[in-house]
Structure 1
Amino acid sequence: MRAQFLSSRFRSRLALAAFLLVAWAVPALGQGTESLLDSQRRQIANVERMVDTLDKQVDDQSTDDAKLVEVRVELERLARAIFDASLAFRPRLSEINTRLEQLGAARGEGEPAEPDEVSRERTRLLDEKASFNVLIGEAERLSVRISGVIDEIAQLRRDLFTRTLSRRYDISAALNTNVAGEFAAEMTRIYRVVSSWVSFTVQYRLKPLLLATFLALVAALCLLVGGRRLFGDFMKPDPTQEAPTYLGRLSVALFSTLIPSASFAMLLASAYYFLDYFRLLRTDIAPLLFALFSVVVLVFFVYRLAYSILAPRMANWRLLPVHSQAARRLVALAGLTAALTGFDYFMNSVYELFGSPLSLTVATSLLGTMGVGLLILLIGNVKPFSDEEGQAKPWPTKFRYLLFAIGFAIIVSAILGYIGFARFLSQQVVVTGAILATMYIGVLTAGAVASEGAFAKSWLARRLERYSPFDETTLDQLGLVTGMVINVMVVLIGLPLILLQWGFRWADLTAWGYRIAGQIQIGSLSFSIIGILTGILVFVLGYFFTRWFQAWLDGSVMSRSRMDSGVRNSIRTGVGYVGLVIAALIGVSAAGINLSNLALVAGALSLGIGFGLQNIVSNFVSGLILLAERPFKAGDWIVAGGVSGTVRKISVRATEIETFQRQTVILPNSELINAAVGNWTHKNKLGRMELPVGVAYGSDVRRVHQILMEIATGHPLVLKNPEPFVLFAGFGESSLDFEIRVYLSDILTQLSVQNDIRFAIVDAFAAEGIEIPFPQRDLHVRTVVNQPVQVPQEATSSESEAADDPAAATKRRRRRKLDPE
């Protein structure tokens, strides 16, 4: 390959020598012009073939920087030779043009005919001029092509410089005296280009320029004003608040960084867009403005982020517990680091645009990376914290050593010639570090929002409560959802930005996205991530629509009718389950899952139902039966086994019953279907109440009956039809038993009615002198005469003494226990 390349170089130099010799001899030749033109055409064709060979070598050697340098040198020589050759044709063209002017224009109709020699001379000169113009055009086309290949090589070399981090470069060429002159020349060139564009635009395109500026300002102000209206509470810390919450500090740091940075970026992006839309950007100005705007946005974002986190003027709003002097110093160092990194990037873009020598890129990157490394060392040397005695305290040991390691790595890599690695590392420290810091603040904000009770105290919760009242549980769940959304947004925005900084392209990310969104085949079942997410979104929308329809149906339609509350609850519950089933089916269909492919899953589910899920299915079916037949409804008073209470909710698996002791009992639906259930309020709330009463033996039972009837009929809640009834129930052990039986329109009021009747009975019996007995028994002792019982004399005397004087007998017994002798 090397020999072939040298031979091609030798041939190219011979062809160039011949080409230049012919071009130099053209003006001196008066005869044989056609042969010279043919020779020039052949030589240009040979040069074009050489360019084709070099272009192919560029493709073959695109990963070899040294070979690319050699190819670029040959192409630059060819470009200079063709340029010199095109200049060599100009004297002859000038002579031809002068001779044509002397001959004048051809005679027209009606004018005297000119000599034939003049006509032939004019025709020959015109043909020769046309041939020269064709050759010059071919030379210019070839020169443009060579320039394009040279630019392609420069781009390849810069890409290799960026990507090949472990490659070592000779920095001695970047430190010589010529670099300063080349840098000054490039700055002069930039100044001329920019000044000429500005002067031309202001002088000839002032109105479009002002209109583009105005539209850019409007776009930025719209974003800024909208952000302040939505997040105005967190755009600026409140100086009057002495002890802000952790969530408040995080929110202020996040939004006071994102909203101003987004507004400033919108201003510059809109300005660039409108300038391009009104065709105010030239091809040599557009890349410069784009690079400049990118650098300015980066520096502003980093400075704003550092200022928001450290808050040098408000110690109570800082996220890090550093003292004020260290906070100001850290903000300044962070801004300088970002500015130096941005300058390196901008100058590299300038060098790429103008095709500057590689030595300039190496020199600028060398100085820039070393400056960044020194700034990182200064950041690590800061003592931001204070101990208990008020003395300055450095960073934690691991973090300080990490900063020192990064700073020394950048400086040493640059000095040893590993410019690519040093530049990459310095850029990642600034750009990727800023992105990671913002992502970390977002993650902390999500965690703080999702913590228990935090969302209820936020501004968003206060605004939501203006439109609809939310209980504490709902607000807590909204906080969890908000935290999850923030985390997802942090990952979806931050991760692609980091990958782009690490050398990936948008095409790579797009390809990954399409690959993830593509079909995933598992056996005969195929699905996609995007399809599943779409199905979940459709199901969530269907769920909320079902809940809204339930509320509308219950609150706007059924509430206007005289429908029973239990029926309304059953219809509402049934509509909810139907809506969820429909939403699930639509969601599965939107996910692209063919239900016919779920036969295996359905078979496994049926097998599971046959073994372990039969109770669940039984309760589910029982719940559907309860909702359809409605043996009881929400609000009914039922008695099921040992449970008595009010039905609160009927679900497909269980029924919620609240006892009169305010205990909630979850009763499976299958027990309510398979066992007897008493419902006091099934058809209506009419019910009979029994109240037993007992009087002493010897009482006037007829008077008692009369009194009880008067009390029962006199109560306002007792129905007259069916009329009350007093039953003489029987003869008890201690009393004569009566029972008052009355009907109430609302059986749930029986407790208050029982109290009233009992109070009235006590008062009436006391007035009539009727006694309400308490349980009592008569004890009869039988004595057996035929079997005399021998009692010891001592015991008998003791018993007699105890009968005469119980206190003395008790004292004697105690003395016996103390002194048994």
Structure 2
Amino acid sequence: MLPRLPFLACLFLALLLAGPPAAAQTPPAETTRSLAQAEGDLRAVDRALDGRVDADARTALRTKAAAAQQAARGAAADIAEQLALVEARIAGLGPVTAGTTEEPEIRAQRQRLAAERAALDAATKRGRLADVEAQQLLDEIARGQAEQLNQTLSTRVASPITPAFWQAVVRAVPRDWRRIDVFLRDGSAQVVLQWRGAPPWQALLGVVLAVALLFPVRAAGRRIGQRYLIGSTPGHRVRRSAFAIFSVTVGTVTPLLAALALVQGFRWAGLLPERWSALLDGLVTATGFAAFVGAVFGAVLMRSQPSWRIAPIADETATRVRPLSWMLAALAFASILIDAFNAAVGASQAAMVATQAIEALLHLLLIGWFLLLLGRLRVERAAAEDAGSLTTSAGLGAVTLVAWLLVGAAAIALLAGYIGLSIFVARVIVWTVILASALFLLMHAADDVATSLFQRDSRVGQALVRGLGLRPSLVDQFGLLLSATLRLALVLLSLGLLLSPFGAGGVGGIFGRLGSFAQGVEVGGIAISPGAILRSVAVLVIGLALVRGFMGWLEKRYLPATDLDGSGRNSVGLIARYVGIALAVIWSLASLGIGVERIALLLSALSVGIGFGLQAITSNFVSGLILLTERPIKIGDWIRVGTDEGDVKRISVRSTEIALADHSTLIVPNSELITKSVLNKTLAMPLGRIQIQFSVPLDEDAQKVRRIVLDAFEAEAAVLAEPAPAAFVDAITDGRILFNCFAHVASPRDAYGARSNVFLALLHRFREEGIDIGTVPQRLELATGPGLGPGIDIVPRSTPN
């Protein structure tokens, strides 16, 4: 089965590249109508932008312009395909030969194709022009949104702590009260008018449904989740995540449906006038959002079921934070409903500004309360536990500090009269916390489901291993990659949701607004401004953070699931880290306006300096890449460099660290390992060898001595049975028998200790057997000559080895 996998993979890739079967071409008439409709929509958007447009209308116009742009692009692409077919047919007819007369049918065909080509070419140009006009309208809408946001943030009114602010509110009270009175009297009149007839059973039914959904249905849903999700779903992690997501769904949907039933019942009964429609819609929105806030924080804290809590939060923390989440949900409900009421009544500007100031103050007080509570809990936890066991991280402290700075800035803006800026910052903080909590739950759920479903021990994993012949590690890797993909998609979606409530068009829109604060100067075609520098720094920080997060996932999650050894993981990790850092730097430079061609020009200029002053560093860097790719030396190898030998502990792109026997570390430049001879004792195989040499007198029984040696090897636990030990007679010289004996151990690191143990065992046995061992006798001859006397022979007695 395994040999077929490359073919199946190639076939699957070919199917992906081939794409779906070619659909039938769009008829020219239908394509023209689609293009005309897109042009009409763009003209309507252009006319609408000539007048004053509010935020909601601008959002609708942006959606309409984007849809028209997509339609124009699609129509232009279809027409371009049809134009290519017509041009191919014209090319098939060939040019008209001079001096010849074409047949009437051919001439008519040529004229018809020429006319069709001209019409299609004109339609293609119309489509491209509509695409350009749509993009211009989208840019204009984005600029309008940025200007409106900047105007809201920069608008200054009288400070709420000054009498002028409240004097304006008091002056507007009579007019606002009359508007509220008219609004309420219209509603009560409509209720009285409808109540005179038959009882409003639609409204009563809506109330009954709302009460049923809020209490018995919601409680039944939670019981069903506890019974089936907790009791039946395989895997504790999956059950825990599924229960959290189900709790959020039930806690959000049931109040939202209850509000919809109540509002729809009143509408069907005709109890309320059309003027109340915006307020009713605001009631539904406020109920749904407040329910979502309460459900999300309830699922994160899990105060009543701590064993099913996903977040690493202590029980005391969950108990003390939970009331703040209810206050936040109530504040969100009241804020949305009051804003809808002010819009429906037509409240004065002073009343709306006062309402925003109160909302900003309440939000900041609640955020400050939460930060104080969080700080108190951290202090209590630090006092109760040792500093080494404290689970709070520096990241949480940094986030808390940033939150305090934002709260302080918003409070100063509120006191200075920048009400819009203050409420904007407060809502950003609250929305960020809510979205981060929901993202935390979704990311854990995605990871739990993906890694539990695609696991070698799961049913799906076993089916893939047995059915397709995949390696179990590939199933684990696919689960981790699927988890990473899902979580990345959730992060991108969360970024869009984080920026969307405040009129932002995504990350690029925010960076665009940062660049619009200061124009700066242009040097060499590159715009240098404070906004561009801040944007580049922000992009670099984001890029490095993404690289760090990716490396953490790669080294802790993905690489352990592969079949690579420690050295292979180190090589992949180092290469991935340097490539990621390089991409982050290139991304940062590109955001500053420095293109790839400018970066290449800069590198070519630096190459001169590299050639003269950085030869050694470049040589070590290239040698490090060779070591990481060819891997002649791996982490854990036992190598000898010169007179030093030890274990390879770390390989970087500049140097290699070797742990020596005396616990010191030898740092060797990589070029030394590439250009010079290095002894790698564990490259081919990890075995070590013991060599023992000695001699016995010629009258000793050589077979007996050999048996004693082999017994000593067999008695040593570190000596391997395969390859088998061996004892050889190396030579017979000067009345002695020379033995050369070999044995193998599991690692070269075990050879020295095993050799010593074998020596001790041999000395003991030879002493018991009365066998004399030693070295070969050496003969020392003193030369004779004039004045030296006779020669002297000194034959030393054999001494034990």
TM-score, normalising length: structure 2: 0.41
Say which one has the larger Rg. Answer: 1
* Relative contact order higher in (CA < 8 Å, ≥ 6 apart): 2
